[in-house]
Structure 1
């Protein structure tokens, strides 16, 4: 049974740290010459009037900016100041720097304070005590912290340690002509384009001081999201620059300032934050114009329709192992410019926009670095609109609402539909590209079943989660109207007198501490929906104290309570057989000791008990051929198939038993193969996904296949029914190995029309995990998957049971005949 993790929620703070702690800082190469304009770090503003009479700001400052697309290292660098008319005794004053300068970002160096002024600088990224002159002076960005000794423009511009130089007012040391003079109320600042012509007079103008730190905060601000002090002008990067043309941002791990966008949705549950979208897109269909701003545990203070500028750190959040990532802005600081703006049009999701091919492949490696091809692959298409508004109309539900407030719909109504409204998954190369998860941003996802509908239009930003992959995050106001199409649980017919009915049912970690309601509903499933089969193999029966890990392995209390519930529901008085597992050796919930169990109606069928002289928990059951009757029987009944084989490590061992019905022997094998835990997600970054768990299931299949071979070798006409949760698809290598490609055992799911081959719904895919397999002699049967759980929001279990009714009087005449080349 797959273990579900929340997809649209995460622990605020901890998840963010995990997503950013390993983010690499790309170090830009150092400039090679300084007689030419800098393409990286430059001085963007200088102000020497701080604290003077009539000044607003209390401190002088120097602001740096980065013209490049990569971070620029500042460790070991310094900002230095020289008076405008330096004398022989004048010395350069030094303020050391640390950290790095983000691409397109700012870096604020706070300098000397005076007694005047009323507004403090935003938190400086570096602090010094240089008292700069208000009207004239020279500022240098220097590689190193040793004071410069040059006193002329020629000497200073020729010094390879001088990264950039600004002389303002009457400064003698300058690039080209000096920049205009500043005042107590005016700084000199570089143009918004950060142009560097190496002529200070051309590159700088005087104006109102606008000190901005690396977080995008400005003077007088509180630094809070949506409060004052946020960025006041668009920075160097827009959303499409951040998203880039691959799955990972080219600016990952770097800080950006003043990213413009319209707030399109706000998420108030789980991982709080909001989405912004640029209303002025570029022409590249591969670059998304939407972005999620992660505010952690803090509720966003912005509203839908706000036009904002946001500064923050670009991160790639991975919601689960092997998943793709969500490009986000973390530690945000924002400024709201206006409210009530129209939202960008939503991208329509339908047959015409979503490609039929699922994802590119990289030989099992990561596809993150591959250029997006949104017209070719559906996963590339969704990534190219990550964070953007998208909509689906009249969407049929293909995965019922779960306890996390998630459901799946299809944007392609004709894509492999099941008769009951789902979408069937029939092969590894038949991914259903129209599936998309709906997880409301405000927790308002309606409760619907498969086949129900969200009528009208459902609109929300495109997000990505660990379970299900890409999703829409609408709100109550942008979700279509819920339409109940009346899906009902199925009821199978009762077996006839000459029919032996065998069923399998995964009851999902059942133990006595479960609610009476769960026992009642599971019992009703057996009695009403399955019509009280003669034999029921149960999977996931826990021991008598559930997940308490104290050595208890018996399940008598569990089965007593369950069979009593069946009696109360009007069913027969079932007996049971099972083999206690060795404590903590069969996987499942720690301490739970899940196992398979035979329930049987002793008024209809008898169990052949054969004791063993050794512990059947650890002794392999074998096949014995009676020398007088030439019939086959088991060395122990019940028994387990080769339980000490490494194939069954931390996994359930098949339970084998002999039953007698109307004078004939039927061998029953109850299965629960190891889970798919640890496999790469289908929608993940590794393509094709590695199905690591299948390796063990294939070994388990080989063990059981060998046992069936031995039974058929002893009696080619043996009636064998192997059933249970194989945790794999009918087209998987494991199931093909177990059945010997259908020559030894017939997988009855394959006898149904393709659209009906499912017993489980996961991520909106109706798929097969549970199976009933029969030997060649079982020729007359009626098989039915009974859909009572997997398609419904309200489930007693996450699996659907299934049943086969065998006419034993008409079975047994056909013997197994090995084909040429068979390994038997």
Structure 2
């Protein structure tokens, strides 16, 4: 070999970039690795080096579409151009030094072997080893497998897995974590590789597993240093799959499980599975996880908020897996406005719900997803506790200002507000149940040493997760860092009844590759790529088991509850007409269960609060002035206090007088030849003041009968000149429905003749001469196409038969045009 040769250390230089960028150089060295198939080049290293620790002795040689016939150990010389390479997707300014545009390539010998350079943590200055053959003598632990399926790479760490600095179980910083990281690559730049290295016999590679003596070439790419192995790594399965949760003891088990957007519909705005095929795979995993937990009470996060449809589907699948109706759902319907909600299921054979479920009020919009609470009694011990399912605001979707990430993820201030509001909810729950045992479960989107958890602990709760050994205290992996977002927080009174807790590591340790999704996987249902299916190359390692059922590990807690006396949840309701008249008596209906110790009503008009007998079912009051008032009924039993309200509009004393009459009667509805399907009675206000119809009724008897059938009218203010349509029974004929009725009954009226009256009261009259009868009409001679109508649209009232005439059927409801009668 002749001619000037530039040493590889000279090309690399001591800085981040080569001082010879763009220049042609002749180099000589030993091939340490041939990655032309996967990376488009090979690595070359100076046989002796320059003994300068600041400069690398190795270099990447890019051959691209003109590969060279080389093998590790070859001694070669050639000319090339120095480049600094940076991919378009890279975010950092750092580049990788390489040679390309090769010429005068000469192979001088072979069979040479270079000794790899030892590299130990901290990995703060790896630039000086770029392109060199290196070895890591210490044990490296898998701490990141998120990109394993997409890029064939694993994140490793010296000194064990990496924890989020705010998790609270180890003292670390972001800088210290970065100094312990290194990436193991698969010597390929292909995405979604068809063959994955590093899998174990279960076709996975869990975080927590380890490799010692990792040897290969150190490459810089995609904003990180990566080891491209020259010797196949030998992994130790230090973190084998836990087939079941660790024993938590106790006689009662409560779990919290994130079910990763369990959606039963697959529209463009739906989350979760993209189609029924993926959903079947998802459901199988979720059911396997919940069955493995086998808890007596389970709080669920990320259930589709479509009433209870998705929840019932999950319960049905779980019971099918058990072969019995083992679980039941706490029915809540839609909760809040988010696409997902929290939910709860339980074993009826083990616990009994006490009272109804309670969702905290979210009128102020503080909650992202309102919490759900349910009190239970253990059928074995008689102990009572209230379980609350929670899902606080996530750390993502960051704002550009305000509640930005200051070290605990975005929206930390909002999560603190949610935690503080939750504590107020807990106080009400304790009062409601009369029991101090409260267990907060769920995804709080806050790590163990972050402000929202500190606020809850300061409010009288104990973090039960801290019973778990520090090295095992995690439920979530993000960016190669571990921590627990999924919590079990017990009130101080309940803490003494806790027997154990575990985080079942079936999800956070597993690569996303094995989940239910088929994107990029070699599966007939995959459509990734353009054209569709062209990127479906990754192996489909899905199995219908519990592993990677979600991205969060479930939490399981054991309890030995002390016996409690169950206090029935107190309830109260208030009802009655929503309008009244000043100066006239108004009656409010009241219902309580069970009978309270005390019962009070505040009429909202400034009058003194009225104390009622605890068994009262009504209260009467006269409002002095017109206005809008909110009536509040308060019931108290022991430490429980509940209220009910009713808004009432009080009208001024009318200057005129209302006058109610029957304005039209039709009994031929549904008869042969009839246009309309139903009979009807029409009421009309012929006076000059409104009349509230609450407490009125229309009644019917046959032409010669004395037995009256009743249809009550509704709480409706009938204005002067306004009609009110009462629909009665339907026949088998007719082609058209009536206009929208204002009230409806089931009286089957005779078509030709009968009796109709309007009464102030809802009890059947004994005679048309009763004092509460306000109008009476006897009709005859009608057909299926005629009705009896009062003259002048209802305004004529001489108490004579001539007030009515048979004519075309023309029903009018309250929406019809007003016909105010002249004075």
Which structure has the larger Rg over C-alpha atoms? 2
Say which structure is richer in strand. 2
TM-score (norm 2): 0.50
Q: Which structure has the higher relative contact order (CA within 8 Å, separation 6+)?
A: 1
TM-score (norm 1): 0.50
